[in-house]
Every structure is written in C-alpha cells, then in structure tokens.
Amino acid sequence: MTQPCEQAPNIIQIRREMVESFSEVRESQQRMIGLLENVARQDERIKAMADTLHRHETSINGLYSRVRKIEEAPGSTASRAWWVIFGGAVAAIGGVITKLVEVAAK
C-alpha cells in the first residue's frame, strides 16, 4: 500500500516560493535591462558632446593662433586696423547694451 506523502504541503509551498522567486528575478532583470539601455543612451549623448567639444576646441585654437599672430606684429598696419575695428565694435556693443538697460529701466 502506498501512504500519502506527509510532505505534500511543504512541496506545494516550496513550489510557490520558487515561482515567486523566479518572478522577482525576471522583474529585476527587466529593470536592469531598462537601466542598461538608459546607460547606453547616455553614453551616445556623452560621445556626441565630446565630438562637439572637440570641434569647438579646434575652432578656438584656430582663433587663438590668429590672435597670437596679430599680437606678435603690433606695428603692422593690419594689426592696427584690426584693433581699431575691434575697439569700435566693443564701443558699439557697449552703447547698445547701455541703451537697452536705460530702456528697460524706464
């Protein structure tokens, strides 16, 4: 004769706990996948910003080299003309800003 298994309720409980554990693991994996996808998107964004930074750095270095050439030859006519134009532009910009501040204050 076969006797009923005394551990049947324990086996059922263990099965339930295993199913719950696997469900929790699956949910955790889904969250991790979402986080990793977000990290990948941020990585692409950072790479794009690094490329932009490199382009700007190249442009700025070019401008600095031009300014250095002008500063090295202060007696040349082109240098004097550049400084006159630069000074005039700064004065004009200052005048516009002053006028805007006056208008805004009224």
In the chain, where are the structural domains located?
Answer: 1-72, 75-106
pTM (predicted TM-score): 0.43
pLDDT reported for residue 32: 96
- DSSP state, residue 75: T
Q: Which residues contact 79 (CB under 8 A, 6 or more apart)?
A: 70, 71, 73
pLDDT reported for residue 1: 47
How far is the C-alpha of 38 from the C-alpha of 49, rounded, in Å? Answer: 17
pLDDT reported for residue 69: 77
pLDDT reported for residue 74: 59
pLDDT by residue for the chain (106 residues), tens digit each?
466 678 888 888 999 999 999 999 999 999 999 999 999 999 998 999 998 988 888 888 888 888 887 777 656 666 677 778 888 888 888 888 888 888 777 6
Contact yes or no for 82/70 (Cβ under 8 A)? yes
